[in-house]
Amino acid sequence: MDSHSETPSYARTPAYPGGSAPPTPAPEPTNDKSLWRKLGGAAVAAGLLAVKFGAKLKGALLLLPKLKLFTTSASMLVSIGAYTLIWGWKFALGFVLLLLIHEMGHVIQLRREGIEASAPMFIPFLGAAIAAKSLGKDAAAEARVGLAGPILGSLGCLVPVGLYLLTGDDLFRALAFVGFFLNLFNLLPVLPLDGGRAMAALTPWMWIVGFAALIVLTFVFPNPIMLLILLFGGMETWRRWKARKTPESQEFHRVAPRTRALVAAVYVGLAVALAFGMDATFIEKDFGDV
In a domain, 83, yes or no: yes
In a domain, 113, yes or no: yes
What values do phi and psi take at 189, rounded to 5? -80, 60
In a domain, 5, yes or no: no
In a domain, 196, yes or no: yes
- DSSP-assigned letters across all residues of 195-206: HHHHHTTT-THH
In a domain, 190, yes or no: yes
**Considering Cα of 210, then 151, then 92, then 63, what sign does the dihedral take?**
negative
H helices, E strands: number in the chain: 10, 2
67 vs 63: CA distance, rounded Å: 7
Query: Measured between alpha carbons, how far apart are the two ends of the chain, in Å?
Result: 98
In a domain, 133, yes or no: yes
Per-residue pLDDT of the chain (290 residues; tens, 9 = 90+): 444 444 333 333 333 344 444 454 555 554 545 544 544 554 445 445 444 444 443 443 344 344 455 577 888 899 999 999 999 999 999 999 999 999 999 999 999 999 988 888 888 888 888 888 888 888 999 999 999 999 999 999 999 999 999 999 999 999 999 999 999 999 988 888 999 999 888 877 787 888 888 888 888 877 777 788 888 888 888 888 788 788 888 888 888 999 999 999 999 999 999 999 999 999 876 544 44
In a domain, 41, yes or no: no
Q: Nearest CA to 278 among 165, 143, 178?
A: 178
In a domain, 108, yes or no: yes
Q: What are the residues facing 122 on neighbouring strands?
A: 128
Which structural domain, as residue segments, surrounds residue 96? 64-281
Number of compact structural domains in the chain: 1
